[in-house]
Amino acid sequence: MSASLATRLMRFALVIFGAAALTACGVNTVPTKQEAAKASWADVQNAYQRRADLIPNLVSTVRGAAQSETTILTNVTEARARATSINVTTNDLSNPAEFQKFQNAQNQLTQALGQLRTVVENYPTLQSQARFADLMTALEGSENRINTARDRYNEAVRDYNTTIRTFPAILAAKVIYGAKPMIPFEASAAAQSAPTVDLNNIGAAPGAPAAPAAAPAANDNSAPAATSTAAAGR
């Protein structure tokens, strides 16, 4: 075997060895799992946007049948505005402060919608409307999508975070990519349950059940407003 051929074979072997070493170190695994987590985040954003798109029609429908529930409707509208104003890009997924702002805003909107559900139970006429029923069905479907998307995102983040912390992928994560852990969603017990609205002492307030032929009374707005505001702040 000539010296030149031996040299070429040696170089080829080194290239093969280097490629195998890089692969073993996670040079491909790290970005692959990072992109999977980013794709899951896009699904989360789409699910939240679908919910946000339903809210204006829902508020409009409720206002038509329960005009005196202005505090509740305002809470929902303002919570939606806050939630849609915070945009977390894939570059922010490793930023705890920005991610927390997004999660807090979405949790506040979830609470406001839970309060709205509690109040509309006192309006049988509203509940019997086909449009309202369709909107509530769509809203429930959107929230199911949100839960599914969040679970899948958390699983992708867990997989990615585990990869960049374990050998040998940690070598590529630290040396080549400077990878940082992504932030998962945290469970919020308050956001998963509807706030309590105390109607025991309201009497003929706007939230009181109405007879089929009578509209809800609107002569005492102070008690419901205070109750609604307190509930929304929880």
Burial status of residue 87 (CB atoms within 10 A of its CB: 0-12, 13-18, 19 or more):
exposed
At which residue do the structure tokens 């609205």 appear?
A: 197
Question: Residue 159: which of 37, 7, 52 has the closest Cα?
Answer: 37
Which of 48-62, 95-109, 198-212 is predicted least confidently? 198-212
Q: Which two tokens stand for residue 194?
A: 């509807």
Identify whether the C-beta of residue 186 lies closer than 8 Å to the C-beta of residue 158. no
End-to-end CA distance of the chain: 81
Residues with Cβ within 8 Å of residue 169, at least 6 apart in sequence = 25, 26, 29, 30, 163
The whole-number pLDDT of residue 125 equals 87
Residue 50: in which H helix or E strand, if any?
A: helix 29-65
Over residues 101-124, mean pLDDT: 94
Are 147 and 52 in contact by the 8 Å Cβ rule? The answer is no
Which secondary-structure segment (H or E) carries 234? none
Question: What mean pLDDT comes out for the span 167-188?
Answer: 91
For the segment 201-226, the average pLDDT, to the nearest whole number, is 38
Cα separation, 214 vs 85, in Å, equals: 39
| Residue-level pLDDT at 3 | 62
Model pLDDT for residues 32-59, shown as the tens digit of each residue: 999 999 999 999 999 999 999 999 999 9
Scanning 94-216, the segments in alpha helix (DSSP H) are 96-120, 124-127, 130-165, 169-171
User: With 80 as the cut, is the pLDDT of residue 7 above it?
Assistant: no
What sign has the CA pseudo-torsion 92, 93, 96, 99?
positive
Residue 185 DSSP symbol: P
3-206+219-232, CATH topology level: de novo design (two linked rop proteins) (1.20.1440)
The structural domains of the chain, with segments of one domain joined by +, span 3-206+219-232
